[in-house]
Amino acid sequence: MRRAILAAVFFVALLAAWQVMVMTGQWSPVLLPSPVEVGGYLWGSLWDGTLIAAIVVTLRRLLLGYAIGLAIGLPLGLLSSGSEFIEDTIGMLALGLQTLPSVCWVPLALLWFGQTEGAMLFVVVMGTAWSVMIATDTGARTIPPVFARAARTMGSEGFHKWTRVILPASLPFLITGMKQGWAFAWRSLMAAEIYVTVLTGFGLGHLLHYGRELNAMDQVIGVMLVIVAIGLLADKALFGPWERFLHRRWGLGTRTR
Amino acid sequence: MLDSMHRDAAPCPKLVVEGVSKWFRTPRAVTHALDGVTLHVNDGEFVCLVGPSGCGKSTLLDIIAGLTWPDQGYVTADGCPVEGPERHRLVMFQDSALFPWLTAFGNVMFGLKLVPELTRAQRREIALRYLDMVGLANFARANVHELSGGMKQRVAFARALAPDPHVLLMDEPLSALDALTREALYWDIQRIQQERRKTIVLVTHNVREAVCLGDRVVLLSPHPGRIREEFRIDLPRPRDVNSMELARHASRITTALKGYTVPEAVE
């Protein structure tokens, strides 16, 4: 409780400082609107439905792209940790593609899919799958071999060994990989939405883009805040339970003072 | 199954290691790890393999477990050749190898779930009984990281005993523990062995531990690993690791061990 209050005080102070800076004319309101203005935009767009609609469109793309990315990355990562051939081929490819900023996929996606949902998804999947694959691969490799040995002497082989031993043993790394994948997916989607105008749905990135076109800085800042808030919420809601589980079982992430 | 019943008429060793040799090949060198090792272990017998590090005793245990293959010779368990790991020959490792994603209870249940004949209720009952036997009934729901080193090995012991294996292989299970915890576990292992009568092969470099626990102590010498001598220990049980009688036996074996190895290599 005390921590929550301290955090709340910090954020209120931050907003107040911002407001004061704008009101005293230190910062031009054209370049940085005051928190009150941004709040006004958010409030208005919340009630006229544009913000909610954009959030729905964006989240739908994000979750779909992320799910596909995971579905590709997780099995490939497990496979490449167990097979030298896949490690040397697809693993090498993944390592290279992972370093490619996902915006770089946008021109190709536009050419292949046109201004469609497919282009959006493609960019998100390309941004997610490789980093998930690499994190999973690293995770599966770092498992102490004694786990697999112990499991085998207890009669665990093949599918059972993979699902009941290798997979849970690599859970800490999987979570890290999935979290990283999530961050990559979020970034990729925003890049795609800012660059690609799609007629099938108007996402947060588009809202941001048009805010800039219209010189509506309150809209730009407001949408940015929404993007940050969604990222934060998703982190807590999606990964919070897993991280608490890891903390409880493995004793990982214990803060030492 | 039928095979082993058939054999009951003419008693034969539970475990036969016959002329086992093993070489490890690395790009830089070939190491001769085991050389013509022959060992017979009877049903319900507790055999301790003693030797300095590098004498191949852990490799021998791995071969018996089916985790590694011998280059020469063979191993049979209950008359059947060992072709891979199997739940009738469970291994207890030096670092407990407990699964951190499961509770203490979950770890004991892991092996039990791989025994198809049992019902769910039986498995639960057996797991709790063995946790109780190692004195950890109150820690069934504990997470692995919350247990001390000694408690972890107790859970590992319960996990290894619960599926009722024919043979229990222990690879220096107590080496990483402090002296007091280790002594407490000597009592527990002896007590449980009196009740359960398992066939056990324990690897250690601690001669006193071997004399305290084993019905028979087998000496190995390194480079390459060979069986040098065997000592039958007829001391009454339970044995106190600190007793004079036991110390006398241990010093006799230590002297023999030193005869086969360079002194620095002996702990």
B236-266 per-position pLDDT tens digit: 888 988 888 899 999 999 988 888 765 554 4
**d(CA A134, nearest CA chain B) in Å:** 22
Q: Is the pLDDT of residue B8 over 80?
A: no
Q: Do A153 and B97 touch (CB under 8 A)?
A: no
- Closest CA of chain A from B214, distance in Å: 23
Identify all chain A residues contacting B89, using CB atoms and an 8 Å cutoff: 153
In this prediction, residues A18-26 reach a mean pLDDT of: 87
Nearest residue in B to A166, CA atom: B99
How close, in Å, is residue B250 to chain A by CA atoms?
31
Query: How do residues A85-137 score in pLDDT, each as one tens digit?
Result: 888 888 888 888 888 888 888 888 889 988 888 888 999 999 899 988 988 88
Q: Which residues of B touch A250 (CB under 8 A)?
A: 100-101, 143, 145
Whether A149 sits inside 8 A of B99 (CB atoms) is no
Inform me whether the C-beta atom of residue B164 falls under 8 Å from chain A C-beta atoms. no
pLDDT of residue B237: 83
Summarised one tens digit per residue, pLDDT across range B167-213 is: 999 999 888 888 888 888 899 889 888 888 889 999 998 999 999 99
Summarised one tens digit per residue, pLDDT across range A181-191 is 888 888 888 88
Interface size, chain A vs chain B, as Cβ–Cβ contacts under 8 Å:
70
Does pLDDT of B6 surpass 60?
no
pLDDT recorded at residue B10 = 46
- Determine the pLDDT at residue A257: 42
Query: Residues of A with CB below 8 A from B99's CB?
Result: 147, 150, 165, 168-169
pLDDT at A66 over 50: yes
pLDDT recorded at residue B11: 58
Q: How far is A173 from chain B (nearest CA, A)?
A: 13
Query: Does B144 lie at the interface with A, CB-CB under 8 angstroms?
Result: yes
3-state secondary structure chain B: CHHHHHHCCCCCCCEEEEEEEEEEECCCCEEEEEEEEEEEECCCCEEEEECCCCCCHHHHHHHHHCCCCCCEEEEEECCEECCCCCCCEEEECCCCCCCCCCEHHHHHHHHHCCCCCCCHHHHHHHHHHHHHHCCCHHHCCCEHHHCCHHHHHHHHHHHHHCCCCCEEEEECCCCCCCHHHHHHHHHHHHHHHHHHCCEEEEEECCHHHHHHHCCEEEEEECCCEEEEEEEECCCCCCCCCCCHHHHHHHHHHHHHHHHHCCHHHCC
ipTM field: 0.82
For residue range B38-93, list pLDDT tens digits in order: 999 999 899 999 988 778 888 999 999 999 999 999 998 888 888 888 888 999 98
